[in-house]
Structure 1
Amino acid sequence: MEKMWKVEFRNVGSSYFPQSRVECHYSISSQHSWASNDWIGLFKVGWSSVKDYHTFVWALAPPSYREGNDAHCCVHFQAGYLPGASAEQYQFVYVDGKGEVCSQSAAFTFSAPKPLEELVTLEEGEPGHEEGEDMLMVIPRAELLQGRLQECLKERAELLQALEAAERSREGEQESVRRSREVWEKQQEELEREISELQEELRHSREQREELKKKQEELECVIVSVKEENQALMEKRARGEERISQLEEDIRLLTQRGLERETDLERMKERAKKVAAQKKEEENERKNLKVKLEQTEKELHSLSTEFQSLRSSLAQRDTHALQLRDTITTLTHKLNNAHRKEAASEAALADLRGVQERLGGSERCVETLRGELRDMAAQRDAAQAELHQARLQAAQLTLQLADSSLALREGRASWAQERESLQHSAEMDRMRLEMLNDEIQQKEELLQEERMEREKAEVELGREKDCNRVQLGETRRELQELKASLRVAQKEKEQLQTEKQEVIEYIRQLEQRLEALSESKWSATALLQSSRADSPLSDSEDENPEALQEARASRALSHYSLCDQPQPDLLLPATPPPSPRHLHTSHGVVISQPAPYCCPPQPSSDSHAAHSSESEEEYEVAHSGGNSSGEETALLLPDHTDAALSDLVESPLW
């Protein structure tokens, strides 16, 4: 069982010419991962290592190749790197970048081209000449076939180009239709998205409306609660007013009591003033008495000092005692007066003590009055504090009432504003809903229009598909006609071969007859010469031997030529009937002839290289058109015919 290769070589011939480049066709399967360092080498059969290659080229892949897909590729081995003509067998080997062998081709050889065995005579009539003056051209049959093949290939390339243009136009139309369809789908998605957004906005607006309704209900509940609080505040206000009236009556009573207490205080103040005046008088008297006591004490001190001085003077001056008796008597008299004054001062002191006791009693009364006054002042302060607190409570109540009334007014104003805003928002929501409904209707109309356009586009697409199908059918019909024309050409080729064989047989018969005629003529001329040798020469012949030579030359047998027309009486019995190809063609006549014994003169190397390069370029153009056509090329010419045609085109003419 043969090994399954990842790469397969196609259309490998049994032999190639070393003077022309060699094409290597191969197919990459989906199992092979192509890399840029893959290469194809030319190896001798029986090689043992990948380094034993004769030459190599890098394995190429088409630009549209993707890994995991099958691809058909082709590379060229240039003529300068190919081995010479020999009997050794070679083969193509595909090696990947890792050095692993992925495929091997069948064996083939390189052999020199053989000379052409057939020539074709082409008879062409020049314009302006008569029919009998046609010119015969001897050209190789391969050149004629190559020209016809090139014409067929050109026609095929033109047809393939037309088919490719039709396919491109069809693909462009399909692409435009696909793009328009994508644009329409995108627009449809955008419209659906907008519709969903509008529905979402409508749902949000409904939710907001429900929330606003809930807020309105809550506000109504708040308003009811505010009304209840207002009623409670009114009741509290009435209670506060009653309490204020009671407090005012209490304040009046307290003010009356305070006035009475103030009158009592004024009376007590007058009494205290009187007591203070008496106290001041007593203090003045006391001060006077103190001054008098101080004066008496000073006098007593002075007297004591004088008495001491006198005693000292008496003690010192005993002699002066007598003189001083009178003074002593006076002094005793003065002392008695002083004792009397001391007794009077003691009485004043007793009076002063009584006054002091009275002053203490008055002070005690003043202290009691002061305590009572303090109690009255404390009661007055307490009454004033209670009055102040009552006034503060009344002010607080009035402030609370003002605040509650202000809050009530603000609540009413805010409620009115909220009510207006809610009404305005409800109206705006209604307007938005109406606008959304209008937009939804417009979107629905646009959707209907787009559906109509889509249906029209689908109808146009169907028409275009029908047109494309018709064009494809026409192209297929043209391909079938081309195939039929190729078959007709093959049949004509077979007919030409049969006619050629018939003409060759006819020529052989003519040659045999001509040989027989020539032998008979040679025998007749020999008899004539022998008879003339026996007869005497004339005077003219003796005098002019050149005339004799001319006569002999005129009587001599002409050389055989295929271009000479045979005698009608000799050719009539054996002339074959004309072929239908000669009857239908009015231009040059093609006559097949046997090949000459010697090869025709070879053209120069430059002309041969130019001719081969031109033929190779023409074949590359045709082959590129064939590769780009795809399946249609496979329908026109199979792979083995491509190889045969390439061998015919690239082979030299001689």
Structure 2
Amino acid sequence: MNPIGPESFSQITFTNIKPSYIPRTDIQCNFYKRQEFQSGSKDWVGIFKVGWQTTKEYYTWISLSSSVENEVLFKAYYLPKDDEYYQFCYVDQNGEVRGVSTPFQFKEDDNEIVIVTTQEEMENITEENTRLKKKNQDQAEMIQTLQAQLHTATEKNNTLEKENMDQAEMIQTLQAQLHTATDKNNTLEKENMELQVQVKNLKEEIETMKRDNLEIKLQQIGLQDLETELEQKTMDLEKIEAKYKKLQSENEAKNQAIVNLTGLLKSCKEEVAQQKQKFEVQASMLEKEKKLKEELQHSLENEKMKAMDLESNSKNNTTILRTAEDSKIKLQQQLALQQEHLKKMENDKKINDNLEELNDRQEDGVKVASSWG
């Protein structure tokens, strides 16, 4: 069963729940649904022992497809035979609990049972009741502390999400710069090829002039004019060669810039992947912490109910002492869970320190990228 908060239980409300039912008799269970709640054909109502953790822990159940609207009837043959505390639970077709009733017992009418309780037993019961109230108060304070810690962790997760978005934008910017540099490099290579063709044509033209037209030029315009024209052609050739060398140098610089941008982009992607993995671990731990808080709150509600039952049913000392012992075991288990939670909070702190270190490295990466832009 997926973790469900107490707000989901308010979809269904059970009515006319008695504190106890007579054993070996049929029980009628009534409830009503909130207007916005949409029931399914496979919804069902079950009887669970107080303290259940999953919907698989039902004692018995009835499908709503075989019942009157907002009413089910549990036959006496299928009901519990002990005097433990139970409650009705409404479960939808997705396996999620949508409503729970107040606890009740299966026992004979108190008016038909006479129990003799000594003054010492009454004092023990009163002392146990006081101790349970103190533990309930301590648990309530612990839940408030956990809620504050959960709020802090949620804010940190929101900050990490914003940083991930900023890194994604930075990667897009670097990719755009890389694309622009690549286009410029292609343009320079094209111009370079065109200049090489021009240089080759000029050299061929000069050689042709030297070889085929030297005598004609000397005869028509004189040796001086030919030398002047040859000198001019040589100067043009030198200018073109200088421009070619300059373009070649710029091309090499652009290539080096592309290599640097590619390496920076790869490094940023790796850091984003590592941070994403750590963020997923942080989210998983946050989810577990939320579930622990819900379990503690549910346990606190159960303990409050049991304390009320201890006050109203002080004559039934046998049942009260057994219930108090069960509560003691559950509280010990919850204390162990709280100790485990403290260890997890220490791990959260270590993760946050690592994230701050990663943020510093990312800021350095952004500065480098800005200098190239």
Normalised to the residue count of structure 1, the TM-score between the two structures is 0.26
Normalised to the residue count of structure 2, the TM-score between the two structures is 0.42
Q: Which has the larger radius of gyration?
A: 1
